[in-house]
Amino acid sequence: MDRMTTMHPHALIDQNTVAASWNGSPTVLLTSQNIVMPQTPNGTMIFAATNQSTLNNQGQISLTSGGGLPTILDIPALTSQPTINIHNWQANNLSVTNISANNNTPILAQAVSPGIPGITPQTLVIGTPLPLAMGQCAQTNASPQYMQLVIQVTGPTLGIVGVIGGPPDANGNNGYVFGVNSTANTGPGTGVPAPAGYYATTTSNTYAYQFNWGSSLVFVSNLSPSTAQTVSILLRAL
């Protein structure tokens, strides 16, 4: 009998560790493999996971931190849109394990936030478009006025961008995730709720987000799947 069908999935957590000092960079986890971030930032972090199986295999990821109960995320098969989890793990560790039932279910995992050791963001110059490849990030301080963040993919591939900045919401988080070239128009102004973890998605190749966060930091990261094209980021004053 297959071992995966008889063992409780939580028994796999923290076994088969392939990266004990993970810095959030895009990493493919095979079934039962584990990665650990020794210390998360004490602020919002965006976690993204994409099922890379070419078969119709539902995936699952376990997130554990600080000795707490695991958070189990379902990672759907045959879709390039990442599953998103936005959370503040309050400087505790974060352990990520692929607990998918089928062995042929590789999952691409990423985590982004300002201040993760080993990550050096590019400089986002206000008024100048910046191309970001998958896994790359950039940051700058906003001007104390209304700003517009423009996310664009010039080709037909899905683009997923995570943004951290501004005041926290009721849950203490200040992360936003946007999708362009998506399968549906969702989020504010559409009448359709965005998928869990997302702020908005659009079928267009461009999305513009207006905000006024004073002179606070704006951190941007490309969370697109591995097959996606480069995403162009433009931050401009209004």
Q: Which residues contact 226 (CB under 8 A, 6 or more apart)?
A: 26, 50, 52, 108, 134
pLDDT for the residue numbered 10: 52
Return d(Cα 222, Cα 137) in angstroms, integer. Answer: 6
Which regions of the chain carry the CATH code 2.60.120.340? 3-112
Q: Among candidates 40, 13, 25, 41, which has minimal Cα distance to 135? A: 25
Which pLDDT score, from 0 to 100, does residue 187 have? 97
Q: Any idea which fold 3-112 has?
A: Jelly Rolls (2.60.120)
Q: What is the pLDDT of residue 226?
A: 79
Tokens of 72: 């189990």
Which pLDDT score, from 0 to 100, does residue 139 have?
97
| DSSP H or E run through 4 | helix 3-6
Task: For residues 89 and 66, give the distance between their C-alpha atoms in angstroms, rounded to a whole number.
Answer: 8
**Confidence at residue 2, expressed as pLDDT on a 0 to 100 scale:** 37
pLDDT band of residue 3 (cuts 50, 70, 90) is very low
- pLDDT, mean of residues 169-179: 92
CA-nearest of 11, 13, 17, 102 to 59 is 102
CA distance 61 to 180: 25
* CATH T-level topology, domain 122-237: Jelly Rolls (2.60.120)
The pTM assigned to this predicted structure is 0.92
- For the chain, the farthest-separated pair of C-alpha atoms sits apart, in whole angstroms, at 63
Q: For residue 45, is pLDDT > 60?
A: yes
pLDDT of amino acid 6:
40
